[in-house]
Structures are given as C-alpha cells and as structure tokens.
A = this chain, B = another copy of it.
Amino acid sequence: MTRRVTIADIAAAAGVSKGAVSYALNGRPGVSETTRTKILAIAAEMGFVPNRAARSLSVSSAQAVGIALRRSARTLGIEPYFMELISGIEATLSAGSFGLTLQIVDTVEAELEVYRRWWAERRVDGVLMCDVGSDDRRLDFVADLGLPAVAVGGPVEGARLPAVWHDDAAPCREILEYLHALGHRRIARVAGFDHLLHTAIRDSAYADTAAALDLEAMETFHSDYTGEQGARITRRLLSSAKRPTAIIFDNDVMAVAGLGVAHELGIHVPHELSIVAWDDSPLCRLTHPALTSLTRDISAYGAQCAQALLSIIGAEPHEDRAFSVQCRPAQLSPRGSTAPARA
C-alpha cells in the first residue's frame, strides 16, 4: 500500500509547481494547453484523486448533503417510501459527485442538533428535510442557521425555504369520486400522523369532497403508519354495526395490514370491502387481490428534491432556480381491491 499521490507528486513528476498542477486539473486558465495535457496525463497515470478534506478546507464545501430521518427503524424498514426516495436522491447526487450522509434520529431536538453539528463541522453543504409538519420548528431553525435546505413535502407557507411537493388534494378528490361512482356511501380513512403537513392537506381535501357528495359517512382515523395500528383500526371499523364498504389507507403498509384483517374476519375483498392505498410500492402488487393505489414516482421525486438542493447550494447551473417545485400529482391505479359496492 503506497502513499497517496498528491498534487506535489504530480508537480515533481511534471517538473512544474503545485500551482500549475492545480490550474491544469481544474481547467482554469494559467497554463498552456501543452502543459495541461502533460499534467493531466501524468495525473491519470499516477492515479491521482484529490483529497476531499484538503479541497473542502480550502474551498469550504463538503461536496455532500445530509438527510436525517426521524422515524423508528421498523417504520423505516417496512415503508418502501424512504428507500425509494433515498435511491432517487442518491442517483442525482452521485451524478453531481456529491456524497449522501445519512443519520437516523429519535427526536426533533436530536434532529436539530444534527443539523447544527453538520453545518458547524461543514460536513454537509445542505440538507433535505422529510416529513414536513404543519408547523415545523425545523424550517425556521435551518433558515436561521443559514444551512441550505429543501423541504421534501409542502407547500410551506411563508417559506424561507424552498419545497418540493405535489398536490395531495386532487388525488383525494379522485379517490373519493371513484369510490362514489362505484356506489360506496360509507367510506372510512386510516390516515397517517396527524401532525404531518400532507395529512392535514388530505384531511381537508377529503372533508371538502365528502361534503359535496351524498355520502352517508366519511370518517378519518389517525395512526402512526405502522401495520399494527392499521390493523387495529381496520379491525375496529370492520367489527362495527354499520361497517364501511370502502377504506382508504394513507400508506401501503397499513393497507396490506387492513387487507389481512379483512381476510381474518372473512370479509371478502373487493366484493364486501374495497381498499385503496396511497403510495404504490411493489407491496401493493404482492397481495391478493392486488391493491388499488395511488401511484407516484418516488425515485423521481427524490431526484427532484436533490436537484433543488444542489441548485440552491449553487453546484448546479441555476437557470431555473425556482423557489418551490411542484411535481406531478399521484395517479390512481385501479386494481383488484376495489369493486362496486353491494346493494
């Protein structure tokens, strides 16, 4: 294992100074084309890769972005959402030769502390914030810190921060009208954390749409996105006297759990109960019947978030430095879990 090769080594080999090598490698003026080619050739031959720490120290940029996830290991593991998001983020970042630093935290305080440390240490150039809440402390915190950040979700009112989001209200209307057209009049919804912004948005979208349709019942129950909670709520719903003929779940995991409960109670899906899931992961196609769900390209979403962050960091050509980006809303993919309500 030989010593790493530094620009000093290249300079020596090429018979020029460190400075010339630096200019040559960074494509800056200051060296002749002949010398540049020679230096590049030598650098390639010696397998030169610049030391990240040294570069960071002088240009003061980490060439990395951070993401702190505040969800339990179990939720993170089972929800395909996060890994797909990360994979999309990662693809964009590595295309721009940025690194991704990941940390899992317990509490908001811990999360804020991570941001503070990352920024003070200059370990990251910016962060992506998931699970945006309706009145999120983190937004002001990072803005005060001066830490470049993008909110993954929104829209964020009076934002001092750009957000990448999609319209959640339209798909809600779409689902409800679809179920209504199928003849469903008693509909329930198992929602996610009620403190999250998109939950609030969906809440009111459902309420508004329900009011406009002649529904007998449209109730919402908040949960924590876990299968256990999803199953528990579904079990209660399906055991009630006037049970709903359709249930909408705010994520795929709860929907699968709900389907399990229906099986357990001998309630046939879709003949006796229709099920709709948000977030069309492969999970929705695993079950029988396959779940009708709201499809969105989460990888692409992650990619857009990363793009937005790179843009405010300034690593990107900032022609389209749009402050907030709205993505294509989720599309309803009808599958086997929805059917006309029985008379």
Contacts and interface: CB of A to CB of B under 8 A. Distances in A.
Interface of A: 1, 4, 47, 49-54, 56-57, 60, 62, 64, 73-74, 76-78, 80-84, 86-88, 90-91, 94, 99-104, 116-117, 120-123, 145-146, 226-228, 231, 253, 256-257, 259-264, 281-283, 285-290, 298-299
A90 B104 contact: yes
Nearest to A144: B1
A283 B227 CA distance: 8
Number of copies of this kind of chain in the complex? 2
A160 B289 CA distance: 49
B47 A51 contact: no
Given A94-B104, A256-B256, 15 more contacts: A1-B146, A49-B116, A53-B60, A53-B122, A74-B282, A76-B84, A78-B83, A90-B102, A90-B103, A100-B103, A227-B283, A231-B286, A259-B288, A260-B287, A264-B288
Given A49-B121, A77-B81, A103-B94, A286 B299 contact: no
Overall SS of chain A's interface = helix
A102 B121 contact: no
Given A73-B299, A104-B91, A281-B78, A51 B121 contact: yes
Contacts of A52: 53, 56, 62, 121-123
10 contacts: A53-B53, A53-B57, A53-B122, A57-B57, A73-B299, A74-B84, A78-B80, A90-B102, A100-B103, A261-B288
B77 A73 contact: no
A121 B63 CA distance: 12
Nearest to A67: B102
Contact of A77 (B80, B103, B116): B80
A251 to B, nearest CB: 12
